[in-house]
Amino acid sequence: MDIDLRKLRYFVAVAEELHFGRAAARLHIAQPVLSRQISALETELHARLFRRDRRSTELTPAGRQLLDDAPPLLAAAGALLRRVQRAGLDRPRFAVGFMPGITVTDAVRALSGRHPDLAVDVVRTSYRDQARIVLDGRVDVCFVRTPVDQRGLQLRPLFSEPRVAVVPAGHRLAGKASVAIADLGRERLLQDPDAVPEWRDLPAHPDDPPRRPRPVLDSVEEKLEYVAADEGLIVLPLSTAAFYTRPDIVHIPIEDIGPGHVHLAWAAGRGSDLIAEFAELAADCYA
């Protein structure tokens, strides 16, 4: 049996929204059409994917399993399409993703020098998207910062660097030469706590008020705006903090947490000669 990728995309939308109306709006299709497509998928799979009543929609065990397995399959299909389209261009292309603060110029220039007919594109990404753009084929390789979800990726370590706390210029810690992670424990962190597990794992102080929910912020620029407005702090690799120099924020070395690590990532099992060559060039540049 062949899986219809369109139906699979429809399923993922409903599974993420847990609401057929919102999923239909997200997909720009009519709700009855969406319902028919999901029913057809359930028939093809011989499994019920959702439990529905007038009040709620929830996944069945089969639905939860499909939601685990579907996104990588859709990403792989998208990656295949993008790579085939790039291969069909008059001029071959190679795309390199990078995180803010990481300079990729030397490695890109070295690859272009070896392959004058190759068009090398650079694509800026974010902490949330850095693995996804490799898996869905938007880039061939990406300079990623750990922690990163390594499923489906192959990584090559490149370099490490200190991490710093970024606070408003008028903050109580702003004049210090360095701080300990415990000094930051009562602060509001404006990023995913999994990105700073040392802060996440600090014990709660009994006198602390409940922590305010953090805003959903995708870019470093958005987070720095909140820092400057005294809404909280963030922890960044030194190169990223230094890249975003501005007078209303300062960064302070953190004494007792490990460095940040940068790796080159590409899709596991996709070992092209060009990827291997670029990995060697990148390693040489950061040696």
pLDDT, block means (10 residues), the chain with 287 residues: 82 90 90 90 90 86 89 76 68 88 93 92 89 88 91 93 94 92 89 87 75 80 94 93 92 93 90 90 92
Report the DSSP pairing between strands 50-52 and 57-59: antiparallel
**Domain layout of the chain by residue ranges:** 5-81, 89-157+261-285, 163-258
Could you tell me the end-to-end alpha-carbon distance of the chain, in angstroms, rounded to an integer? 49
Tokens of 182: 């415990």
pLDDT of residue 210: 73
**Which residues, 6 or more positions from 42, have their beta carbon under 8 angstroms from its beta carbon?**
48, 49
The CA distance from 256 to 71, in Å, is 37
Q: Is 272 exposed, middle or buried (0-12, 13-18, 19+ CB in 10 A)?
A: middle
Domain 5-81 fold is Arc Repressor Mutant, subunit A (1.10.10)
- Which own/partner pairs from 175-179 qualify as long-range (CB within 8 Å, at least 24 positions apart)? 176/252, 177/252, 177/253, 178/252, 178/253, 178/254, 178/255, 179/252, 179/253, 179/254, 179/255
CATH code that applies to domain 163-258: 3.40.190.10
Q: For 112-141, write each residue's pLDDT tens digit.
A: 999 998 999 999 998 888 998 998 888 999
Residue 98 token pair = 């990078």
| CATH code for residues 89-157+261-285 | 3.40.190.10
Q: Which two tokens stand for residue 10?
A: 């429809």
Confidence (pLDDT) at 204: 76
- Residue 253 pLDDT: 95
Dihedral-angle region of residue 181 (phi above 0 means left; psi in -120 to 50 means alpha; beta otherwise): alpha
Cα–Cα distance, 229 to 171 (Å, whole number)? 11
| Residue 148 DSSP code | -
Q: Give the pLDDT score at 219.
A: 85
Identical fold between 5-81 and 163-258? no
Per-residue pLDDT at 86: 67
